């Protein structure tokens, strides 16, 4: 990758943060936030205290795709805190907020202003599952609850491996619809 293309990618992703001034972008992010909260209540399955399968991250992925990694990071961090306040579950730990923000940056880097391709969605999902879910979130659980990593990691590996093709298919189908139905509304 040449220096010029790196500068274009960098300026492209950082310039997207200016879109936060647009009323339609803020309104859409608010609607996606409300949807994430509802999905967190009705579409989450818990297997013990350390394994959770849910779909409340789908609105985050839409925001990452439409508005880029930096708006996505702000949205993801904000939603992590808001969902914690509303749920009252467990202790607040800023590591999970950092993970939510990093996941948004990863999705945004793979998908924002890029052609929507299945391999991009697979790569984004795999990267988030390994870095955020398996490494960081397992570390945060270890730090927060003192559970041995060796004890909780196998179950987390299995749940992430099972969910990788499911999450990839759902995300690809969802973003295909978003690309044709919603994205044109936000293009300048």
* Rounded-to-integer distance, Cα 14 and Cα 115, Å: 19
Average pLDDT, the chain: 88
pLDDT of residue 67: 96
Greater pLDDT, 30 or 43: 30
Our count of domains for the chain comes to 1
CATH of the domain at 88: 1.10.1760.20
Q: Is residue 72 pLDDT above 70, yes or no?
A: yes
For the chain, percent of residues with pLDDT exceeding 90:
63
- Strand, coil or helix: 100: helix
* Rounded-to-integer distance, Cα 181 and Cα 164, Å: 25
**Mean per-residue pLDDT for 108-113?**
96
Q: Is residue 100 pLDDT above 80, yes or no?
A: yes
| Inter-CA distances, 7 with 1, 12, 131, 175, 184, Å | 10, 8, 25, 26, 26
For the chain, percent of residues with pLDDT exceeding 70:
88
Q: Which of 2-11, 42-51, 178-187 has the lowest mean pLDDT?
A: 2-11
Phi-psi group of 51: left, alpha or beta (phi > 0 → left; psi -120 to 50 → alpha; rest → beta): beta
* Rounded-to-integer distance, Cα 16 and Cα 25, Å: 11
Residues spanned by the domain of 8: 3-186
Q: Which of 54-58, 86-90, 91-95, 170-174 has the lowest mean pLDDT?
A: 86-90
Q: Which of 5-9, 53-57, 158-162 has the lowest mean pLDDT?
A: 5-9
pLDDT of residue 136: 96
pLDDT tens for each residue of 8-23: 445 566 777 888 889 9
Greater pLDDT, 36 or 148: 36
């Amino acid at each position: 990758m040449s220096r010029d293309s790196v500068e274009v990618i960098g300026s492209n992703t950082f310039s997207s943060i200016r879109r936060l001034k647009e009323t339609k972008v803020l309104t859409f992010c608010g609607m996606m936030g409300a949807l994430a909260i509802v999905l967190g209540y009705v579409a989450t399955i818990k297997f013990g205290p350390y394994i959770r399968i849910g779909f409340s991250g789908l609105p985050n992925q839409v925001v990452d795709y439409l508005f880029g990694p930096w708006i996505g990071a702000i949205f993801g961090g904000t939603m992590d805190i808001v969902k914690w306040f509303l749920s009252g579950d467990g202790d607040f730990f800023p590591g999970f907020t950092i993970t939510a923000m990093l996941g948004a940056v990863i999705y945004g880097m793979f998908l924002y202003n890029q052609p929507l391709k299945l391999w991009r969605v697979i790569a984004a999902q795999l990267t988030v599952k390994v870095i955020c879910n398996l490494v960081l979130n397992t570390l945060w659980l270890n730090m927060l609850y003192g559970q041995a990593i060796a004890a909780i990691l196998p179950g987390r590996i299995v749940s992430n491996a099972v969910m990788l093709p499911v999450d990839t298919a759902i995300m690809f189908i969802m973003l295909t619809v978003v690309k044709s139905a919603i994205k044109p509304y936000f293009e300048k």
